[in-house]
Amino acid sequence: MDLGIKGKVAIVTGSGQGIGKETALALAAEGVHVCVNDVNDEVGLQTAKEVEDLGVKAIYVRADVGSEQDIKDMFQKTAQELGTVDILINNAAISPKVPFEDIPAEQFEQVMKINLLGSFLCSQQAFYQMKEKRWGRIVNLSSMAGRFGANKAGVHYSATKAGIIGMTLSLAKKMGPYNITVNCVAPGRINTALTQVLPKEVQDQIRSQIPLNRFGEPSECASVITFLASEKAGYVSGACVDILGGYIA
């Protein structure tokens, strides 16, 4: 199915690996030019190469989404080399595994800065460019932890992912008059490096709670994100799509 976004320009934050990488590749497969962002040059450059191999233009920009200046520079470089942004995927996040009672204030602030403030600042920069064209798609990454509260994740991570949902609802109202849709997805247990490091008995215990009896794949999240970023989802805005394999808290 042609999703109607060939030739569009996307920024995918944190796209060196995992869901971000698969989303960059899924967008590229639809003919979208992609700015790959990460703070790990090795994986970021590799993703950009794989995107280019799909026949579209790609750049890699090392940028810390916790830095307002880095974000401004990333959007400026993307506009110069690929064109102004049509699609923004706010994927970059950190998730320190620290018990609630041991979380220092500085770590809480760092998680808030990268996960929530970073998504806000990227959305702000995207809005400046999208509103001139009166077309845009923003998809934010929330989490099962943001929908139902933290279990294995930290309380600070859960708080930022819940904040993402509230921000999505507000931005959908703000940006709608400019024909910009804003949605989020809330993945559950996905087969990424973060899941793979868990002990087998923990993985088995988690899997037993999922009706589909397996973890999701990053590509399965990417396909939902890509649809929300497409012309075909033009009347979907302010939604939070759960990708949980049937799990209900």
CATH of the domain at 214: 3.40.50.720
Cα–Cα distance measured from residue 184 to residue 91, given in angstroms and rounded to the nearest whole number: 10
Helix axes 68-81, 118-133, angle to 10 degrees: 30
Whether 248 maps to a domain, the answer reads no
3-state SS, residue 37? strand
pLDDT confidence bin for 244, thresholds 50/70/90? very high
Whether 213 maps to a domain, the answer reads yes
Q: Is 81 exposed, middle or buried (0-12, 13-18, 19+ CB in 10 A)?
A: middle
Residues of the chain above pLDDT 90, percent: 83
Average pLDDT over residues 15-42: 98
Whether 4 maps to a domain, the answer reads no
Q: Which of 137, 122, 145, 127 is nearest to 66 (CA)?
A: 122
Whether 1 maps to a domain, the answer reads no
pLDDT confidence bin for 205, thresholds 50/70/90? confident
Estimate to the nearest angstrom the gap between the alpha carbon of 71 and the chain centroid: 15
Whether 3 maps to a domain, the answer reads no
Whether 135 maps to a domain, the answer reads yes
Whether 214 maps to a domain, the answer reads yes
Per the structure, the count of domains in the chain is 1
Determine the length of the chain: 249
Whether 225 maps to a domain, the answer reads yes
Whole-Å CA distances, 228 to 45, 86, 183, 243 = 26, 13, 7, 13
Q: Which domain holds residue 83?
A: 9-243
Q: Active-site residues: which are they?
A: 157
Q: Which of 131, 135, 14, 126 is nearest to 66 (CA)?
A: 14
Render pLDDT for 141-167 as a digit per residue (tens, 0 to 9). 999 988 988 776 789 999 999 999 999
Range of lowest pLDDT (29-38, 44-53, 62-71, 187-196): 187-196
